[in-house]
Amino acid sequence: MRAEDVGAVVVAVVVPVLTAAVGAFAVTWQDRQASRSQTGRRQRAFEDATRQVDFAVLWWEARQRLPGSPEELGSASRVAQRWLDQAGALVVSAGPGTVDPPRRLSPARLLLLYRFRHTSAKFIRAGFFAMLVLMGVTSVGVLSVALSTGTGADLGWSLTWLLLFALITLSLRFWAVSADATRQP
DSSP symbols for 118-136: -HHHHHHHHHHHHHHHHHH
Cβ contact 147:1 at 8 Å:
yes
Please tell me the distance from the alpha carbon of residue 133 to that of residue 17, in angstroms, as a whole number: 14
The pLDDT of residue 172: 92
Q: Are 46 and 113 in contact (CB under 8 A)?
A: no
**Selection from 86, 93, 91, 83 nearest residue 55 by Cα:** 83
Mean pLDDT in residue range 13-25 = 80
Average pLDDT of the residues of the chain: 81
Express each pLDDT in 92-143 by its tens digit.
887 765 555 556 777 788 788 888 889 999 999 999 999 999 988 888 888 8
